[in-house]
Amino acid sequence: MEKIGVIVTAGGAGRRFGGEKPKQFLELSGIPVIILTLKRMVNLPIVGQVVLTVPENYVEVAGDLLSRYNLAGITITKGGTTRRESVFNGIKALTGNFSIIAVHDGVRPFFPEGALSEGVKKLSEGYGGVILAVPLRDTVKEVKDNVVISTLDRSRLYAVQTPQLFRREALLKGHALGEKQRLDAVDDSILVELCGERVAVIPGDYKNLKITWPEDLEFAEFLFTRYFAKELL
Ligand SMILES: Nc1ccn([C@@H]2O[C@H](COP(=O)(O)OP(=O)(O)OP(=O)(O)O)[C@@H](O)[C@H]2O)c(=O)n1
Ligand SMILES: C[C@](O)(CO)[C@H](O)COP(=O)(O)O
């Protein structure tokens, strides 16, 4: 099986979450979120190398955490001001010459276990990238000044998740464009899309929560206890 390079990006400040410590270092049942994400990632047979990005002033903290939780072989690098810059730093820190690179949010500890292998399978059909997404479950309306403009066709609307997998050249091309135009990209897929690459969607999971707002941590605690504690404790 061909191994892939993985960037776990955790270089953000967590402004929407708020608080002193970036959300990736907060704990679920006593274990830092970023450690849970890495623990579920590093031992997957498909993973050849993991690069972790963290805010510059957390590089040492992250190193100590990896030692404390016996997570060996992970390269730590400093993040950037934006997610795009952090991932770009991560790409530069990958030492293996992987033809497929996955990017994953450090604050999504509950990604589906088979996501990377499913993504690799889908990429082999000739796509530049593969992303995880789930169909929107709610009715969605466009609203302006508290008045409904329209009701959208939700059958075409998906909520996007990570991991996202890319052919190396497609990701490099996307990030080169992002650097050149100083784009503030919400994900890596958009950079690859802008280069004209086709990006496929495979099923994500509603449990693949991104910890963004304070109440997400409470929900994550529930998900952890209910579904993941057995695997991780
Ligand atoms: N400069 C940044 C910004 C974000 N991220 C990472 O990208 C993922 C998803 O981003 P988001 O939830 O937006 O994180 P933050 O930027 O930390 O949050 P906020 O936008 O609320 O400040 C997180 O794992 C976050 O750490 C990153 O590596 N570098
Ligand atoms: C890639 C991503 O996780 C897609 O959900 C991204 O980080 C989302 O950022 P958002 O600004 O919180 O939507």
Domain count across the chain: 1
In the structure, which protein residues have their CB atom closer than 6 angstroms to any atom of ligand 2? 83, 105, 160-162, 186-187, 210, 212
pLDDT of residue 233: 82
200 CA distance to ligand 1 centroid (A)? 23
Q: Where are the beta strands (DSSP E) in 72-206?
A: 74-78, 100-105, 129-135, 141-144, 147-151, 158-167, 199-203
* Burial bucket for residue 196 (CB in 10 Å: 0-12, 13-18, 19+): exposed
User: Does the pLDDT of residue 224 top 90, yes or no?
Assistant: yes
pLDDT of residue 199: 98
135 CA distance to ligand 1 centroid (A)? 23
Whether the CB-CB separation of 158 and 200 falls below 8 Å is answered with no
% of the chain with per-residue pLDDT over 90: 98
Residue 88 belongs to domain with CATH number: 3.90.550.10
> And the tokens for 90?
């991560």
In the structure, which protein residues have their CB atom closer than 6 angstroms to any atom of ligand 1? 9-17, 24, 53, 79-83, 86, 105-107, 210, 212
212 CA distance to ligand 1 centroid (A)? 8
CB-based contacts of 161: which residues, under 8 Å, 6+ apart?
Answer: 108, 111, 131, 132, 133, 134, 204, 205, 208, 210
Q: Cα separation of 231 and 233, whole Å?
A: 6
Q: What confidence category does residue 59 fall into, taking pLDDT thresholds of 50, 70 and 90?
A: very high
Q: What is the mean pLDDT of the chain?
A: 97
Q: Cα separation of 199 and 165, whole Å?
A: 9
Q: Cα separation of 110 and 49, whole Å?
A: 20
Ramachandran class of 29: left when φ > 0, alpha when ψ lies in -120 to 50, beta otherwise: left
Q: What confidence category does residue 232 fall into, taking pLDDT thresholds of 50, 70 and 90?
A: confident
> Where in the sequence is the domain holding 106, given as residue range(s)?
4-232
* Burial bucket for residue 47 (CB in 10 Å: 0-12, 13-18, 19+): middle
pLDDT of residue 23: 98
Q: What confidence category does residue 52 fall into, taking pLDDT thresholds of 50, 70 and 90?
A: very high
Model confidence pTM above 0.95:
yes
